[in-house]
Amino acid sequence: MNAIDLLKADHEKVKALLTQLSESTERALKKRMELLGKLEMEISIHTRLEEEILYPAFKAAGTKEQDIMYFEAKEEHRTVDSLVLPDLKITDPGSPEFAGRVKVVKELLEHHIEEEETEMFPQAKKLLGKAKLDELGAQMEAMKASCKKEMAAGNMAA
């Protein structure tokens, strides 16, 4: 699978989890925590794939315009990973505040996904070409498998 197709499949998975989370009720505490755990895992792995594999290749192949897009995308990741998700994780899943924070996470991620899919990915296809995207996709599949293995081992040790 090429890098863009793999990342788009991740985006679909994240959007589905966000929809389930935003449609859950205040009484569905266990379901909310389960969905939040899955969402965090997917986002964590996806962010690594983009920041360690696609983004550097995109930036290296591009110009100042791609540099700006690169740094904006990284900042959006930082906002979700360092600010919004940690806040959501410590919020009572039975509270209205939780629902509000889920809505904000959903809006931020949907905006980020849309920008990547309509601006960055089409440019990456032109700049990198099919062979490079296939190579990056293979690297991503290997990293993804490794990350999931690490996380599973971490969960068993906990």
Place of tokens 């904000």: 104
Domain count along the chain: 1
Within a domain: residue 76? yes
Within a domain: residue 61? yes
Identify the pLDDT of residue 156: 64
Within a domain: residue 12? yes
In whole angstroms, give the CA distance from residue 116 to residue 118.
6
Confidence of residue 54 (pLDDT cuts 50, 70, 90): very high
Within a domain: residue 155? no
In whole angstroms, give the CA distance from residue 94 to residue 99.
9
Question: Does residue 154 register a pLDDT over 80?
Answer: no
Sort 95 into a burial class: Cβ within 10 Å, 0-12 / 13-18 / 19+: exposed
Within a domain: residue 30? yes
Within a domain: residue 154? no
Identify the pLDDT of residue 157: 58
Question: Does residue 30 register a pLDDT over 90?
Answer: yes
The whole domain housing 58 covers: 3-149
In whole angstroms, give the CA distance from residue 60 to residue 72.
16
DSSP 105-121: HHHHHHHHHHHIIIIIH
- Give the number of other Cβ atoms within 10 Å of residue 92's Cβ: 11
Question: Does residue 3 register a pLDDT over 80?
Answer: yes
Identify the pLDDT of residue 97: 94
Mean pLDDT of 31-58: 95
Identify the pLDDT of residue 32: 95
**Cβ neighbours of residue 147 under 8 Å, at least 6 residues apart?**
44, 45, 48
pLDDT digits (tens, 9 = 90+) for 79-132: 999 999 999 999 999 999 999 999 999 999 999 999 999 999 999 999 999 999
Within a domain: residue 53? yes
Confidence of residue 7 (pLDDT cuts 50, 70, 90): very high
Over pLDDT 70: what percentage of the chain? 97
Within a domain: residue 156? no
Structure token digits, residue 41:
């895992």
Identify the pLDDT of residue 152: 81
